[in-house]
Amino acid sequence: MKLASARLVIGHLYPDLLNIYGDRGNVLALRRRAAWRGVGDVEVRAYTVGDVLDFGDVDLICMGGGEDRKQVLAAEDLRTRRDPLEAAVAGGLPVVAVCGSYQLLGAYYQLSDGSRLEGAGIFDAYTVAGQQRLVGNVVVDSPLFGSLVGFENHAGQTFLGPGCDPLGHVVVGGGNNGRDGGEGAVRGFCVGTYMHGSLLPKNPALSDWLLLAALRRRYGEGLDWPALDDAAEERAHAAAVRRAHETARGRA
């Protein structure tokens, strides 16, 4: 199938509440890489609290990070969408959720006062507020994507249950909790991570994995999927890796 006749709908959840440290760049990267490949119709739809959202009508979901107060507002709304989101993820809907939204896709987030913010339960994971923030550049070795780079800034510490695999293992940085060496979570084509930066422009393999999953979910196999010249992205990735290692050596 020629991509010129294809249509792609990217759902951007809570851009007014969860959009810090360049997370909007993930939406821009997906849109641009789809257009570069010749996808004929790429649409981005923003959804916030109270909006009608049919997960069967979107091909890919992006969610970012935000402050605790805004995270509470998003969590309350996201819980009302839990069942249809669960069904969509089980059916192969690609999702990328960064930091605060990653936490909200787990079972719960226990705040510093001991109260619990109930999550959507998409990941077998939970988060507790930590005493120390994990801040800085991150390099992750991922079995799916090789080297991934980003920037983390979070006090929440996320722990995965047996039903959830990490996105990768930390080479530089704190990752999920600064203890077990894991970073992020993967379930099907649903990815959660603490990496801002923004993540997808510097990690084209992850971007393309999400896009291809989205298009195959709508159109099936047999897509015309041309290669892109990722020289600029690879240079940005390599520069971020070098900077992360240099910073880590400087702290040692």
pLDDT at 190: 98
80-96 mean pLDDT: 97
**pLDDT tens per residue across span 106-120:** 999 998 888 999 999
State the catalytic residue, choosing from 12, 154, 196, 237: 196
pLDDT confidence band for 181 (50 / 70 / 90) = very high
Q: Domains, the chain, ranges and CATH?
A: 3-251 (3.40.50.880)
Per-residue pLDDT reduced to its tens digit, 31-60? 999 999 999 999 999 999 999 999 999 999
Three-state SS across the chain?
CCHHHCEEEEEEECCCCCCCCCCHHHHHHHHHHHHHCCCCEEEEEEECCCCCCCHHHCCEEEECCCCHHHHHHHHHHHHHCHHHHHHHHHCCCCEEEECHHHHHCCCEEECCCCCEEECCCCCCEEEEEEEEEEEEEEEEEECCCEEEEEEEEEEEEEEECCCCECCEEEEECCCCCCCCCEECEEECCEEEECCECCCHHHCHHHHHHHHHHHHHHHHCCCCCCCCCCCHHHHHHHHHHHHHHHHHHHHHC
Per the annotation, the verdict on 196 as an active-site residue is yes
The pLDDT score that the predictor gives to residue 182 is 98
Per the confidence metrics, is the pTM higher than 0.85?
Answer: yes
- The predicted structure's pLDDT at residue 68: 82
> 12, 62, 99, 154: which one is catalytic?
99
pLDDT of amino acid 188: 97
Q: What is the pLDDT of residue 249?
A: 83
pLDDT over 70 at 252, yes or no: no
Confidence of residue 1 (pLDDT cuts 50, 70, 90): confident
Residue range 112-153, pLDDT digits in tens: 888 999 999 999 999 999 989 999 999 999 999 999 999 999
> Residue 237 catalytic?
no
